[in-house]
A and B are shown apart, each in its own frame.
Chain A
Amino acid sequence: MLKKPVYMDNHATTRVDSRVLDAMVPYFIEKFGNAASRNHSFGWEAEEAVDRSRNQIAALIGAKSKEIIFTSGATESDNLAIKGVVEFYKDKGNHIISCVTEHKAVLDSCRALERAGKATVTYLPVDKYGMVDPDAVRRAITDNTVLITIMWANNEIGTIHPIAEIGRIAKEKGIIFHCDAVQAIGKVPVDFEKAGVDLASITAHKIYGPKGIGAIYVRSKGPRVRLTPQMDGGGHERGMRSGTLNVPGIVGLGAACEIAGMEMPEEARRLIQLRSQLQAGLFERLDEIYVNGHPTERLPGNLNVSFAYVEGESLLMGINDIAVSSGSACTSATLEPSYVIRALGIDDELAHSSIRFGLGRFNTLEEVDYVTDRVSKEVKRLREMSPLYEMAKEGIDLKSVNWKS
């Protein structure tokens, strides 16, 4: 029997894997020590657990364990990477290269530096699949450029950027390369050393770990990357991030990475199959629907679709026993649709009509069939109610209409 509501919003967050939780539990009560306590067994136990976690994380992402600095999550990691580099290397320059489809934690960190007069930022456009052009990165580099920050995979449309190529360009020009890899690690093979990434943001709750714990990868050699800390205190984490370590969270992040590493090939294959089934099912039942994002360079669990003539928020309301998200910003005060979808150059109307399906470890074929059926029926119902669908069927070109808004 299908359990409802169906959760298909795994880019937003994921359920904690029970194996992860089992690993964490002892560190709340029996082994509650402070990893910084050097003079008793409680501290040693905690430190040992933290070291084990660093190894587990490093093994997943092509890093050395000492290159892992724990933070509260990816937002903190993005802030620390971007502000930390710009402040530390201020004598070298103040120019950042980023991209219009980055996560808000990256974009707003950049904007904060711009507002403070500490940096100028180039926001590169993307192509119709949401991909940044490595040559555009190269062309944007100036003598003043100190940082390139481009995500590994996009959280809305799942597009995977050509990170290794950008990494090569960054190495060639001697510019530090930060990568928000939150959506990619544990989902697709990631090797920061090989890809030429110098700083990377990761978080546990997107890979079936707990919320509130993340890390930043900081390259130690070739080059050794330095950061100005954004949190002052006891000098934890090699002085880059003060604050008592969240040991249970860290254990959870480590366990989540280890499981992801072991199960990735099989899980990715299964998710691609489920996604193909979902996509094929929707296309079979509905006309005028469009996939947003890259056809092949895409996260296994991601499917972003625009259902023409149907507004996304009203569709979500109709499928209220399914948890997905919409690029329609009808809920926001700005009334602007998703900036990521708009950056693809598609019509705003289609941006308002977009739905993101995020498949994950715990989704089943039965759920995919249910979602396909439910979404198709609701889209058909709403189209019967849509003046745009009626006009399109009458052969009216919606772009030729002089809308009075």
Chain B
Amino acid sequence: MAYSDKVIEHYNNPRNVGSFAKDEPNVGTGVVGAPECGDVMKLQLKIGDDGVIEDARFKTFGCGSAIASSSYVTELVKGKHIDEAITIKNTVIVKELNLPPVKIHCSVLAEDAIKAAIADWRKRKADHAASSEEQLPKSKEA
């Protein structure tokens, strides 16, 4: 099949490939897809206390369009507030990369990855807050 120039460009020069340390408190990790479906995307967002996405990394197992979709998304979300990033629709990715109909699912996966990463960050933040509260009474007792 013929790939668009933009897909090929992202495939050859993927942006922000890699991983942040998972235990960094301000990192949210989203892993979507499944190996047996031939697509797994891992998107990590480094998010400031103000909710602004400072940095992003990805790793993707999948076709060229899946790699390009995740690469593009890391560029797209940087500098955005999570409230804005969470509204990003897959159609933006489809349009930017000229994805054909059979590759729409790659863009859907990328959209899901953003949501999953933000949800993970929120959960970790909430857990962190909860565990600090738990620790407070303890320290009083001591």
Binding site for B on A (CB under 8 A): 309-311, 313-314, 317-318, 328-333, 335, 337, 347-349, 352, 384-390, 398, 403-405
Contacts and interface: CB of A to CB of B under 8 A. Distances in A.
Given A314-B11, A387-B40, A387-B42, A328 B35 contact: no
Given A311-B63, A386-B61, 14 more contacts: A310-B61, A311-B38, A313-B64, A314-B62, A314-B67, A317-B8, A333-B102, A385-B60, A387-B42, A387-B59, A387-B61, A390-B19, A403-B33, A403-B36
List of 6 A-B pairs having minimum Cβ-Cβ separation, nearest first: A348-B36, A403-B34, A349-B35, A405-B34, A387-B42, A352-B38
Interface of B: 1, 3, 8, 11, 14, 17, 19, 31-42, 59-64, 66-67, 102, 105, 116
B14 A388 contact: no
Contact of A385 (B33, B35, B67): B67
29 contacts: A311-B38, A313-B38, A313-B63, A313-B64, A314-B62, A314-B66, A317-B64, A330-B63, A331-B1, A331-B102, A333-B102, A347-B36, A348-B35, A348-B37, A349-B36, A349-B38, A352-B35, A385-B59, A386-B59, A387-B41, A388-B40, A388-B61, A390-B42, A390-B59, A403-B36, A404-B32, A405-B34, A405-B37, A405-B39
Contacts of B40: 387-388, 403
A322 to B, nearest CB: 15
Contacts of B37: 335, 348, 405
Residue of B11, B14, B35, B66 most packed against chain A (CB within 10 A): B35
B63 A314 contact: yes
DSSP class of A's interface residues: helix, strand, loop or mixed?
loop
A403 B35 contact: yes
Residue of A386, A387, A404 most packed against chain B (CB within 10 A): A387
Contacts of A332: 102
A314 B17 CA distance: 16
A251 B41 CA distance: 53
Given A333-B102, A387-B41, A311 B62 contact: yes
Contacts of B14: 385
A116 to B, nearest CB: 31
Contacts of A387: 31, 40-42, 59-61
B39 A311 contact: yes
B40 to A, nearest CB: 5
Given A311-B62, A328-B63, A398 B35 contact: yes
Contacts of A337: 38
A333 B104 CA distance: 11
A386 B1 contact: no
Contacts of B38: 311, 313, 328-330, 335, 337, 348-349, 352
Contacts of B60: 385-387
Given A314-B67, A385-B67, A387-B42, A347 B35 contact: yes
Nearest to B70: A385
A335 B101 CA distance: 13
A317 B3 contact: yes
A310 B59 CA distance: 12
A330 B40 CA distance: 13
A329 B11 CA distance: 19
